[in-house]
């Protein structure tokens, strides 16, 4: 547990969008997928996932439909809308710019100034 | 937009589906996680425990999800509302009590407000009412107000550039002949521009041509809807028909709409039936009226747009100054002539403002007391629900959210209560309107209009917040550990809560006391007025009115002088005396009917303004009253009313219009003008030019024939055989059936002159009682409110003491088990109640002293701090408090120690 990182505020939505972009998922599946793609390095409070999902549905970035899970259970599946796809692209680009900027700032050496 | 509302409605009514889905989704997550954990080797039960733990509080996330779904305030509100409805249904009894209390409070407040709205706030039902003013002449140096205007002054005003229109509204009666019975109609003589001034239109035909400026009366009249119905049965071909009034012929040119009332000061003046127009010069008035002949009783005008009253008044002052310079003869400086302008609505509602404000304050207090009562009930329930709140909070409900939820509940209660109140009010509205005395100006019909409904809504919301705030805030500050540790019967109220409840009861008591004292003062005044020494005997006296015509053509006037009229008067007296049961008969002008409020203006008009007068050999200074009440009567009048002659003589047959004028004055007038000398033989006369001297021949004892409240109004009487009067009253004393006799008198008068209307039969007792109508109304309503307040306060103290008893059952059980006597227990509990009542009484007395000062002018013969009321009322309230605490206290003594101790 010791090497898990706390999520930065606002990044949960981005992670959910990314996870769902790889294929429709139910809530628990989203959790598993994020764990899988992040190399289990991120700590997510499980319950907090749902308010975020509902928020994204209301913003029209995700759409939800009831279906049947692998083990034949009724479950609600989330998939990305085209608006969600667009948002994911923008946010990803924005995130990369931010990371690059912060990395470059942190890598700065005294002689470069 | 409709789709939006449909979706809102959908969410409101079908939320359970979403709610179930949410529930299922979260549960399935936990299930899946548990299965995964089980697969990784955990035991089933351990796996489920871990899964729940990792998930966190489902309630909190559900709440967050709901907000995420709803995303806006309205949804949260709907959710709260649905929850509130459930709560209210669950405790139906409690809700019913709160809703009924609220319904009473809001219903009563709205009822009074509807009266205030129609009379005080919107007294003038005409377009741009703020432009309407009343204009009066004052003679400030003589202490005389509203003395009337002259025709040249009217013209000056019209051409001053200050007003759009100026018109007198000269109230009088007229004899309308031509229908089956001669009828007396109420008429306003106005300028042709009158209706243009008010900006009102007829329902039928047209009104006067504002440009008319020929001498004399226009041969046209406009009639009211009421008269159209009463005399012409809504004849659709009424236009251009002729009617004869006071022997003159007029053509009907228009009918005003139903509900049209004129801005008059008395109910008679507001219910005009006929309007006639004149230019106020030419027959029967002089062709060139002099400046100092103030025969126009008062004028209304519409200001030019954009002009404030203050600006207009300063321009008017300049006009007055220039006129004084131009006509020094007519406006001597010692009279102090000024023209004053007041908002028209002031002349109509000025007198009723204070009583109405009193009523509104009284009902407001009742509402506040009702709120305090409900707050108390809610606090009691809050402690019962303390556990519920604690659990919900422990499960993750935010404190702000709980506060919001409780406040929604209170608002809902208040709104439902308000609605019930309005529904009840609509049901009993007609009943209430009938309670309102005629003397209250109702130019606007009293209705439950939109503004009134908005007021009710606002009052309900305010009330809901007022009584809901304390319990709601408390719920937010709940001490979880403490509340959850209380086993079983919810938390017993904390000390803080008991303190809040006591404070509320003390407030309630204080306010109830203020109301009761106000009611007590009014009641005491009323009682004193009823038992005042009248100075005359109103028993078994009937008064019947008639009126002689004033034709515009003076030459055809059958009753032009007192000598012309005398045969008629003697014949009526003789015939009336012969009627069965009649013992005494006297005639007089309308002012001679004691305490008849409705006729006072007529009296002034008959005289052409107030009777300003001067005493021979003396200049009256402004600090001496120079306005007196006058009346013309037959010599029998004083004996009939039982007013004793103290000195000198009454009138006799030798006093006619050919002999020098004589008068009998009352003691008050003698004392005022001839304090240290014999007034007999002294002379006075009207301040009007060329008036004859009048010699005092007798002095009467003071009698309250003008006003019950005024002990010594100045009065004098002249013989009706010497000074002509045309608005007549026949007074009859004896033993008879009033309505039968009234009919007999009509026959007798009409057999002398068949063109005369006979009307207005009333007993003097009715007149006395009628003069108290407005006081009676205020007193009854305030007393009703005070009783309600007393009842509410009693219920409040009963509730709190009951609560204290329940809370201390355990303690009482122990005391009893340890050998306490029931008397000790009784005393202990009663002391609680009495200490509350005592604190309330002290606070209330202080407030009442202040409140009573504002009421001073509504009181009669009672000092604002009347000892009887200020001692008696608190005692009464205290007795009620003791009784209300005694009932629960007795229950405390019946506590069975074994049960009380076992239950804990």
| CB B313 within 8 Å of CB B89 | no
Nearest to B542 by CA among B743, B390, B776: B743
Average pLDDT for residues B119-125, to the nearest whole number?
86
In this predicted structure, the answer to whether residue B487 has a pLDDT above a threshold of 50 is no
Nearest to B185 by CA among B221, B210, B238, B239: B221
pLDDT number for residue A74: 80
The whole-angstrom distance between B58's CA and the closest CA on chain A is 7
pLDDT tens figures, B211-222: 888 898 999 999
| B831 contacts: CB under 8 Å, gap ≥ 6 | none
Q: Kindly list the residues from chain B whose CB atom is less than 8 angstroms away from the CB atom of residue A28.
A: 28-29, 32-33
pLDDT tens figures, B515-531: 999 999 989 988 888 88
Phi/psi at A103 (nearest 5 deg)?
A: -60, -45
Element (H, E) at B88: helix B73-90
User: What are the beta bridge partners of residue B172?
Assistant: B187
Average pLDDT for residues B54-69, to the nearest whole number?
77
- Would you call A55 and B55 a contact, using CB atoms and an 8 Å cutoff? no
B340 touches chain A (CB under 8 A): no
Instruction: Tally the residues of chain B.
Output: 904
Residue B68 has its nearest CB partner, among A55, A66, A75, at A55
Element (H, E) at B646: strand B645-648
pLDDT tens figures, B737-760: 999 999 999 999 999 999 999 998
What residue in A sits closest to B24 (Cα-Cα)?
A75
Phi/psi at B802 (nearest 5 deg)?
A: -60, -45
Q: Angle CA(B136)–CA(B138)–CA(B139) in degrees, nearest 5?
A: 155
Cα(B714)–Cα(B629) distance, rounded to whole angstroms? 6
Element (H, E) at B277: strand B274-278
Element (H, E) at A78: strand A74-80
Cα(B450)–Cα(B681) distance, rounded to whole angstroms? 65
pLDDT number for residue B563: 92
| CB B464 within 8 Å of CB B372 | no
Cα(B792)–Cα(B475) distance, rounded to whole angstroms? 26
pLDDT exceeding 90 applies to what percent of chain B? Answer: 33
| CB B242 within 8 Å of CB B545 | no
pLDDT tens figures, B531-545: 888 899 999 999 999
Cα(B183)–Cα(B180) distance, rounded to whole angstroms? 9
| CB B277 within 8 Å of CB B192 | yes
B54 touches chain A (CB under 8 A): yes
Terminal-to-terminal C-alpha distance of chain A:
39
Q: Angle CA(B801)–CA(B805)–CA(B807) in degrees, nearest 5?
A: 115
User: Which DSSP letter does residue B205 get?
Assistant: E
Sign of the dihedral through C-alpha A59, A60, A61, A67: positive
Task: Tell whether omega for the bond before B598 is within 30 degrees of 0, i.e. cis.
Answer: no
Interface A-B: count of C-beta contacts within 8 A:
58
pLDDT number for residue B11: 54
Average pLDDT for residues B104-111, to the nearest whole number?
90
Cα(A92)–Cα(A96) distance, rounded to whole angstroms? 6
- The rounded mean pLDDT for chain B is 84
Cα(A21)–Cα(A83) distance, rounded to whole angstroms? 12
What residue in B sits closest to A43 (Cα-Cα)?
B54
CA-to-CA separations, B139 to B122, B337, B346, B581, in angstroms, rounded: 31, 5, 20, 49
Nearest to B284 by CA among B221, B215, B349: B215
Residue B65 has its nearest CB partner, among A46, A54, A71, at A54
CA-to-CA separations, B169 to B89, B147, B152, B159, B339, in angstroms, rounded: 60, 14, 16, 18, 17
| B96 contacts: CB under 8 Å, gap ≥ 6 | none
Residue B58 has its nearest CB partner, among A47, A52, A54, at A47
State the pLDDT confidence band at A107, using cuts at 50, 70 and 90: confident
B26 touches chain A (CB under 8 A): yes
pLDDT number for residue B164: 94
Average pLDDT for residues B489-512, to the nearest whole number?
74
Q: Dmax over Cα atoms in chain B, in whole Å?
A: 134
| CB B29 within 8 Å of CB A28 | yes
The whole-angstrom distance between A111's CA and the closest CA on chain B is 48
Structure tokens at B24: 């299922």
pLDDT tens figures, B223-252: 999 999 988 889 999 999 999 999 889 999
Cα(A10)–Cα(B698) distance, rounded to whole angstroms? 104
Q: Any idea which of B89-98, B324-333, B581-590, B881-890 has the lowest mean pLDDT?
A: B89-98
The DSSP bridge pattern shows strands B242-245 and B629-633 to be unpaired
Which phi-psi region, left, alpha or beta, contains residue B323 (left: φ > 0; alpha: ψ -120 to 50)? alpha
- The rounded mean pLDDT for chain A is 83
Nearest to B118 by CA among B360, B428, B318, B303: B360
User: Which DSSP letter does residue B117 get?
Assistant: I
| A65 contacts: CB under 8 Å, gap ≥ 6 | A76, A77, A79
In this predicted structure, the answer to whether residue B9 has a pLDDT above a threshold of 60 is no
| CB B193 within 8 Å of CB B330 | no
pLDDT number for residue B480: 63
Cα(B126)–Cα(B132) distance, rounded to whole angstroms? 9
Phi/psi at A21 (nearest 5 deg)?
A: -65, -20
User: Which DSSP letter does residue B119 get?
Assistant: I
| CB B65 within 8 Å of CB B22 | yes
What residue in B sits closest to A28 (Cα-Cα)?
B29
Q: Kindly list the residues from chain A whose CB atom is less than 8 angstroms away from the CB atom of residue B71.
A: 55, 58
In this predicted structure, the answer to whether residue B895 has a pLDDT above a threshold of 60 is yes
Q: How many Cβ atoms from other residues are within 10 Å of residue B40's Cβ?
A: 8
The whole-angstrom distance between A92's CA and the closest CA on chain B is 24
Interface ipTM above 0.95: no
State the pLDDT confidence band at B385, using cuts at 50, 70 and 90: confident
Average pLDDT for residues B433-461, to the nearest whole number?
82
Task: Scan residues 78-107 of A and list those with Cβ closer than 8 Å to B.
Answer: none
State the pLDDT confidence band at B484, using cuts at 50, 70 and 90: low
The whole-angstrom distance between A64's CA and the closest CA on chain B is 12
| CB B295 within 8 Å of CB B686 | no
A47 touches chain B (CB under 8 A): yes
DSSP track, B441-508: --SS-----HHHHHHHHHHHHHHHHHHHHHHHHHHHT--HHHHHHS-SS-PPPPHHHHHHHHHHHHHH
Cα(A54)–Cα(A77) distance, rounded to whole angstroms? 12
Structure tokens at A103: 């990395």
Q: How many Cβ atoms from other residues are within 10 Å of residue B58's Cβ?
A: 20
What residue in B sits closest to A68 (Cα-Cα)?
B28
Structure tokens at B784: 């009703």
Cα(B104)–Cα(B366) distance, rounded to whole angstroms? 9
> What b/e readout covers A10-36, taking b as 16+ CB neighbours within 10 angstroms?
eebbbbbbbbbeeeebbbbbbbbbbee
Cα(B623)–Cα(B621) distance, rounded to whole angstroms? 6
- Count CA atoms closer than 13 A to B770's CA, side-chain side: 17
B24 touches chain A (CB under 8 A): yes
């Amino acid at each position: 547990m010791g090497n898990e990182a706390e999520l930065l505020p606002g990044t949960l939505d981005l992670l959910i969008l990314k996870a769902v972009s790889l294929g429709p998922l139910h809530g628990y599946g989203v959790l598993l997928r994020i764990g899988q793609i992040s190399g289990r390095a991120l700590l997510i409070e499980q319950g907090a996932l749902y308010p975020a999902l509902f928020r994204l549905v209301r913003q029209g970035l995700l759409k939800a439909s009831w279906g049947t899970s692998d083990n034949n259970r009724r479950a609600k599946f989330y998939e990305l809308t085209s608006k969600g796809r667009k948002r994911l692209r923008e946010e990803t680009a924005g995130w990369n710019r931010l990371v690059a900027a912060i990395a470059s700032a942190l890598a700065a050496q005294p002689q470069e100034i | 937009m409709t789709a939006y509302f449909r979706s809102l409605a959908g969410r409101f009514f079908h939320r359970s589906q979403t709610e179930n889905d949410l529930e299922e989704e979260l549960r399935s997550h936990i299930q899946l996680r548990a299965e995964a954990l089980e697969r990784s080797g955990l035991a089933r039960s351990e796996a489920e425990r871990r899964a729940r733990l990792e998930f966190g509080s489902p309630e909190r996330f559900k709440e967050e999800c709901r907000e995420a779904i709803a995303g806006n305030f309205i949804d949260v509100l709907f959710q709260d509302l649905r929850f509130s409805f459930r709560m209210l249904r669950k405790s139906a009894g409690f809700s019913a009590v709160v809703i009924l209390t609220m319904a009473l409070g809001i219903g009563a407040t709205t009822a009074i407000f509807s009266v205030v709205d129609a009379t005080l706030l919107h007294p003038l039902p005409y377009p741009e009412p703020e432009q309407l003013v009343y204009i009066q002449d004052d003679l400030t140096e003589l202490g005389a107000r509203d003395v009337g205007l002259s025709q040249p002054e009217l013209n000056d005003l019209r051409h001053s550039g200050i007003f759009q229109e100026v018109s007198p509204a000269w109230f009088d009666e007229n004899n309308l002949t031509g229908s089956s019975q001669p009828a007396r109609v109420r008429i306003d003589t106005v300028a042709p521009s009158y209706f243009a001034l008010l900006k009102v239109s007829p329902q039928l035909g047209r009104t006067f041509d504002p440009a008319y400026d020929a001498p004399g009366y226009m041969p046209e009249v406009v009639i009211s809807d009421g008269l159209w119905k009463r005399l012409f049965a809504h004849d659709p071909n009424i236009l251009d028909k002729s009617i004869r009034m006071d022997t003159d012929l007029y053509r009907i040119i228009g009918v005003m709409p139903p509900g049209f009332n004129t801005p008059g000061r008395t109910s008679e003046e507001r219910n005009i039936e006929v309007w006639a127009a004149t230019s106020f010069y030419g027959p029967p008035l002089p062709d060139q009226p002099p400046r100092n002949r103030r025969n126009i009783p008062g004028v209304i005008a519409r200001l030019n747009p954009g002009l404030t009253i203050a600006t207009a008044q300063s321009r008017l002052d300049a006009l007055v100054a220039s006129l004084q310079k131009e006509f020094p003869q007519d406006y001597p400086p010692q009279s102090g002539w000024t023209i004053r302008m007041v908002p028209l609505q002031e002349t109509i509602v000025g007198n009723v403002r204070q009583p109405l404000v009193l009523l509104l304050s009284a009902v407001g207090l009742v509402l506040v007391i009702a709120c305090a009562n409900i707050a108390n009930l809610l606090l009691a329930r809050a402690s019962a629900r303390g556990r519920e709140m604690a659990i919900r909070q422990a499960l993750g409900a935010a404190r702000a959210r709980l506060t919001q939820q409780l406040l929604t509940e209170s608002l809902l209660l208040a709104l439902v209560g308000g609605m019930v109140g309005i529904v009840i009010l609509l049901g009993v509205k007609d009943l209430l309107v009938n309670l309102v005395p005629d003397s209250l100006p109702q130019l606007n019909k009293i209705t439950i209009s939109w503004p009134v409904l908005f007021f009710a809504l606002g009052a309900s919301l305010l009330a809901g917040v007022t009584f809901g705030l304390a319990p709601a805030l408390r719920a937010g500050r709940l001490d979880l550990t403490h509340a959850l540790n209380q086993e079983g019967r919810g938390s017993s109220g904390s000390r803080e809560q008991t303190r809040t409840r006591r404070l509320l009861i003390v407030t309630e008591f204080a306010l109830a006391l203020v109301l009761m004292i106000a009611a007590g003062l009014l009641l005491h005044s009323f009682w004193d007025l009823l038992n005042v020494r009248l100075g005359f005997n109103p028993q078994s006296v009937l008064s019947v009115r008639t009126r002689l015509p004033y034709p515009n053509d003076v030459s055809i006037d059958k009753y032009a002088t007192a000598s012309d009229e005398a045969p008629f008067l003697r014949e009526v007296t003789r015939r009336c005396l012969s009627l069965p049961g009649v013992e005494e008969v006297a005639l007089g002008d309308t002012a001679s009917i004691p305490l008849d409020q409705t006729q006072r203006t007529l009296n002034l008009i008959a005289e052409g303004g107030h009777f300003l007068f001067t005493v021979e050999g003396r200049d009256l200074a402004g600090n001496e009253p120079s306005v007196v009440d006058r009346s013309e009567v037959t010599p029998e009048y004083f004996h009939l009313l039982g007013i004793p002659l103290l000195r000198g003589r009454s009138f006799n047959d030798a006093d006619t219009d050919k002999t020098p004028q004589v008068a009998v004055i009352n003691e008050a007038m003698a004392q005022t003008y001839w304090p240290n000398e014999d007034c007999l033989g002294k002379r006075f006369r009207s301040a009007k030019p060329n008036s004859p001297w009048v010699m005092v021949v007798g002095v009467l004892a003071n009698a309250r024939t003008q006003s019950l409240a005024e002990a010594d109004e100045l009065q004098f009487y002249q013989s009706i055989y010497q000074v002509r009067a045309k608005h007549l009253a026949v007074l009859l004393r004896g033993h008879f059936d009033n309505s039968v006799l009234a009919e007999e008198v009509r026959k007798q008068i009409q057999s002398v002159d068949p063109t005369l209307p006979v009307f207005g039969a009333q007993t003097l007792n009715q007149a006395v009682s009628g003069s108290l109508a407005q006081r009676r109304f205020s007193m009854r309503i305030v007393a009703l409110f005070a009783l309600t307040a007393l009842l509410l306060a009693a219920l409040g103290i009963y509730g709190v003491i009951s609560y204290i008893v329940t809370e201390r059952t355990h303690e009482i059980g122990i005391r009893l088990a340890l050998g306490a006597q029931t008397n000790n227990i009784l005393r202990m509990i009663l002391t609680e109640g009495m200490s509350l009542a005592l604190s309330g009484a002290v606070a209330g007395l202080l407030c009442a002293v202040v409140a009573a000062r504002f009421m001073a002018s509504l009181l009669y013969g009672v000092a604002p701090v009347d000892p009887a009321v200020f001692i008696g009322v608190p005692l009464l309230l205290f007795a009620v408090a003791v009784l209300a605490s005694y009932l629960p206290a007795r229950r405390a003594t019946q506590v069975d120690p074994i049960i009380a101790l076992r239950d804990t």
